Amino acid sequence: MALARTRAVTLDGVRGHVVEVEADIASGLPKIVLVGLPDASLNESRDRCRAAIINSGHSWPNRRVTIGLSPASLPKSGSQYDLAIALAVLAAAGEVPAEAIREAVLLGELALDGRLRAVPGVLPAVLAAARDGCDRVMVPDVNAAEAEVISGISVLAVRSLRHAVALLNGEEVPDDPPVPPLTMAQQVEWAGDDRLAALDLADVLGQPEARRCAEVAAAGGHHLFLEGPPGAGKTMLVERLPGLLPDLDLEESLEVSAVHSIAGMLTPDAPLVSRPPFLDPHHTASIASIVGGGSRVIRPGAMSLAHRGVLFLDEAPQFAAHVLESLRQPLESGHICIGRAERTATFPARFLLVLAANPCPCGLNFGRDERCECTSAAKRRYQDRVSGPVRDRIDIYRKVQPVSRHHLDDGFADIDSSKVVAERVAMARERQRHRYAGTPWRCNREVPGPTLRQSWPLPSSATTKLEDDLARARISARGADRVLRLAWTLADLDQVGRPGREHVNEAVALRTSGPLPLRPGTGQGTDVIG
């Protein structure tokens, strides 16, 4: 009997678990047995590995081959186990040194001719290997860049099974052709940072209150709801919001890149996401594309792909009701759990949500246009598509009016660019990082209300209006917590140590679409607009 073992990684959402792969060659009729709760794609690896070994110039053992995946109670899916299975069989047959692969983690899908194809999820898999104490991984050549992001790991990039065997035996490496990247990564190149890089907040003429709302949302990570007629500039403003957000730090980059790696969206030239992602799915998107899903292999949806970034739902009332209702749990918890009959996967989903909507189905009901013919019932049904519980989880609500003629004629005078606003946002975020150092939170939106009131209380003189609105049921208890978070963000933007009455009052106005005390740089001076 000959036995060899190596390691691979199985993924449960973004969490990885190291799996021991064993190959046993014993006397008996030729047969291949794969045990350890494999799914259909993993069961097929028996035939892929056998063909790849033979076509790479080696022989498959003409005996009983048993391949075990441990822990056996953990469901396993995907094709990333191919390389580990093939090399374990070759090591058991004595064609590669067994000690060389015993402590290594091997990832990759084999083609029938022995080429090593790219697989999704290499980054979280290598992270799991590093946490488990492994210091060597072997991955497809095209996935090497994302594997090398993890420090302390020795990465061997291979293009084929022949290439891997030559490295393990100390032989001359064959000149195999490059491995093509994942098809999914090629299809999403249009959605990279370049799509929004050239957009500037100064392009949005007028809308001083909406510009202020966008700045506050970026500074504290607050959710935003813009309601106004078509052509008022809602989409223009939101598309410039990601440019106000600071770069991701290393920990955030690893979180975001791990999700994008599982989705197959990382490219070899950009293995680490450094900017906050921006996703704007169409209103016809399915629940699976927004939330995530899959029967056996569960993939992240737009909510998780927007982690640490912006999720923009334009024409929000046009989305299916169950899609909008699915926002409730991740808006509160910052993660989303997808359950299926055989397994459950948890993905991070701490995104900045922006909703945009028209005032009515025709979009002309904004106070100064008499062309709207929508009935009261139609308007109510349209607005109720975004339910009260979802609306109550939004921090900032703003009615956006059409841009007046003199705003267009004045051009870009006295309007701050994205660079200027981004600097203010960065300073506000830095104050929050310092304040919440040593806690699980990074920005004001994430701090639980009870903790905010206990650890950073405000004097009663500053919260008079908030308490009055709460007593008169103009605002809910959840809304009061969100007002306090907004007040802290306004204080951070003003670079003061603690919010005052003016900050709390402005936070209430942001929450209820009341008049705002506008600041220099909005294009409207400092007057209050009614």
Looking at residue 371, which CATH number applies to its domain? 3.40.50.300
Please indicate, yes or no, whether residues 141 and 219 belong to a single structural domain of this protein.
no
Q: How confident is the model at residue 527 (pLDDT cuts 50, 70, 90)?
A: very low
H/E segment holding residue 188: none
pLDDT at residue 96 tops 80: yes
Distances from the Cα of 375 to the Cα of 109, 170, 360, 365, 380, angstroms: 59, 79, 9, 11, 9
Among residues 420, 483, 63, 403, which one has the least CA distance to residue 210? 403
pLDDT at residue 530 tops 50: no
Sign of CA dihedral 160, 165, 168, 170: negative
Please indicate, yes or no, whether residues 88 and 230 belong to a single structural domain of this protein.
no
Q: Tell me the DSSP string of 3-35.
A: EEEEEEEEEETTEEEEEEEEEEEESSSSEEEEE
pLDDT of residue 191: 46
pLDDT of residue 194: 62
**What is the mean predicted confidence (pLDDT) over 217-231?**
95
Assigned token pair, 38: 């494999």
Task: State the first-to-last Cα distance of the chain, in angstroms, to the nearest integer.
Answer: 85
pLDDT of residue 297: 76
pLDDT of residue 187: 47
The CATH number covering residue 76 comes to 3.30.230.10
pLDDT of residue 253: 95
Q: Tell me the DSSP string of 374-416.
A: --HHHHHHHHHTS-HHHHHT-SEEEE-PPPPHHHHHHTTTTB-
Please indicate, yes or no, whether residues 254 and 293 belong to a single structural domain of this protein.
yes
Q: How confident is the model at residue 351 (pLDDT cuts 50, 70, 90)?
A: very high
**What is the mean predicted confidence (pLDDT) over 396-406?**
83
Please indicate, yes or no, whether residues 366 and 463 belong to a single structural domain of this protein.
yes
Within a domain: 186: no
Q: How confident is the model at residue 45 (pLDDT cuts 50, 70, 90)?
A: very high
**What is the mean predicted confidence (pLDDT) over 54-60?**
95
Q: Please list, in sequence order, all residues whose beta carbon lies within 8 angstroms of the beta carbon of residue 293, skipping any fewer than 6 positions away.
A: 287, 299, 301, 338, 340
Please indicate, yes or no, whether residues 141 and 213 belong to a single structural domain of this protein.
no
Q: Please list, in sequence order, all residues whose beta carbon lies within 8 angstroms of the beta carbon of residue 397, skipping any fewer than 6 positions away.
A: 225, 227, 391, 510, 511, 512, 513
Q: Is 453 helix (H, G, I), strand (E, B) or coil?
A: helix
Please indicate, yes or no, whether residues 228 and 205 belong to a single structural domain of this protein.
yes
Q: How far apart are CA 369 and CA 459, in angstroms?
A: 45
pLDDT at residue 529 tops 60: no
Please indicate, yes or no, whether residues 156 and 250 belong to a single structural domain of this protein.
no
Within a domain: 112: yes
Residues 242/201, Cβ–Cβ less than 8 Å: no
**What is the mean predicted confidence (pLDDT) over 269-281?**
91
pLDDT of residue 431: 97
pLDDT at residue 167 tops 90: yes
Please indicate, yes or no, whether residues 314 and 462 belong to a single structural domain of this protein.
yes
Q: How confident is the model at residue 525 (pLDDT cuts 50, 70, 90)?
A: very low
Please indicate, yes or no, whether residues 339 and 206 belong to a single structural domain of this protein.
yes
**What is the mean predicted confidence (pLDDT) over 334-361?**
90
Q: How far apart are CA 338 and CA 346, in angstroms?
A: 6
pLDDT at residue 184 tops 70: no
Please indicate, yes or no, whether residues 114 and 215 belong to a single structural domain of this protein.
no
The percent of residues in the chain predicted with pLDDT above 90, rounded, is 72
Please return the burial class of 350, using the count of CB atoms within 10 Å of its CB with bins 0-12, 13-18 and 19+: buried
Q: How far apart are CA 298 and CA 371, in angstroms?
A: 48
Distances from the Cα of 77 to the Cα of 35, 337, 349, 442, angstroms: 12, 18, 23, 34
pLDDT of residue 322: 94
Within a domain: 424: yes
Please indicate, yes or no, whether residues 296 and 337 belong to a single structural domain of this protein.
yes
pLDDT of residue 264: 87
Assigned token pair, 235: 């989409």
pLDDT per position as a tens digit, 494-517: 999 999 999 999 999 999 998 888
pLDDT per position as a tens digit, 465-492: 899 988 888 899 999 999 999 999 999 9
Domain around 275: 191-512
| Mean pLDDT score across all residues of the chain | 89
Q: Please list, in sequence order, all residues whose beta carbon lies within 8 angstroms of the beta carbon of residue 507, skipping any fewer than 6 positions away.
A: 466, 483, 484, 486, 487, 490, 499
Among residues 88, 123, 379, which one has the least CA distance to residue 256? 123
Provide the 10 A C-beta neighbour count for residue 94: 12
Please indicate, yes or no, whether residues 265 and 324 belong to a single structural domain of this protein.
yes
pLDDT per position as a tens digit, 13-40: 899 999 999 999 999 899 999 999 998 8
**What is the mean predicted confidence (pLDDT) over 313-333?**
94
Domain boundary among 140, 155, 180: 180
Q: Which residue has the higher pLDDT, 350 or 530?
A: 350
Within a domain: 530: no
Q: How confident is the model at residue 518 (pLDDT cuts 50, 70, 90)?
A: low
Q: Please list, in sequence order, all residues whose beta carbon lies within 8 angstroms of the beta carbon of residue 14, skipping any fewer than 6 positions away.
A: 124, 255, 258, 259, 262, 346, 347, 348
The distance of Cα 209 from the centroid of its chain, to the nearest Å, equals 29
Please return the burial class of 78, using the count of CB atoms within 10 Å of its CB with bins 0-12, 13-18 and 19+: buried
Q: Which residue has the higher pLDDT, 367 or 66?
A: 66
Among residues 462, 513, 522, 512, which one has the least CA distance to residue 487? 462
Helices (H) and strands (E) in the chain, counts: 24, 18
Count of domains for the chain: 2
Residues 269/221, Cβ–Cβ less than 8 Å: no
